[in-house]
Amino acid sequence: MLSIDLSGKVAIVTGGNRGIGFGISETLAEAGAAVVVVSRHAECQAAAAALGKQYGTRCHGFAADISQPAEIASMMEKVDQAYGRVDIMVHNAGIAVRAPAFEITVEAWDTVLNTNLRGAFFCAQEAAKRMRNQGGGAIINVGSVHAKTAMRLYAHYGASKAGISQLTRVLALEWGELGIRVNCVAPGSVPTDINREVLAIPENRQRNIAKTVLKRLGTPRDIAGAVAFLASDLSAYVTGETLYVDGGWTIS
């Protein structure tokens, strides 16, 4: 029976303690990977402990604000000390702030772009430094349908996610000869803390469901399955791609 086996692999998941991120962390741990759960909050340690206990893998939780490159570097040094390698880097941490374009401040713009896009680059850069010395690895960025579909009130968020798709392609081009694959998973509408208030409004929820071909919202495990595929040898000839996991949102 064909299955995904990540035994012996070390995976880092930013924003990995809740929502889509926890779904990814859990799926990678279930596939046998040792998972480093990264979050700005100390609760990442409890999430990692729970995963290690449930799936019998060696998991750690390291607190880091990935909008700050210095904190990314410090977190990666902890990973070096704990594991000595990085095989899978998943940049999932993200911020979404709804605001009309006229009302977006410099501070709001920087907050969103520094976490969503700058954080993606420096996480990838730090991981790739390790991967090139060990013969390769897989980097997966979590993007969004906002990269392809324009939506009101999301100018800065949409720009950050579109940037992630292009960043994915450029890094895949530069690092392919090192055996490093770089791909992106772009979720559709998945209820998490980042959008729970918006989707709590019935008309918003129904509008999002109506936009999908499959006529349902997504789940964290829907997204996590695609990430696990891109992290595994089943996707060994895939790089530079953005995989839309959106129930058909972007084709309707």
Question: Two tokens at 78?
Answer: 């902890």
Q: Which own/partner pairs from 204-210 qualify as long-range (CB within 8 Å, at least 24 positions apart)?
A: none
Helix axes 119-131, 69-82, angle to 10 degrees: 30
230-245 burial code (b ≥16 CB/10 A, e <16): bbbeebeeebbbbbbb
Q: Minimal CA–CA distance to 188: which of 168, 211, 169? A: 211
**Beta-carbon contacts of residue 2 (< 8 Å; ≥ 6 apart):** 234
Q: List beta partners, residue 244.
A: 186
- The DSSP code for 101 is G
How far apart, in whole angstroms, are the C-alpha atoms of residue 233 and residue 226?
Answer: 13
Candidates 55, 83, 154, 157; catalytic one? 157
157 as an active site residue: the answer is yes
Q: What residues are annotated to the active site? A: 157
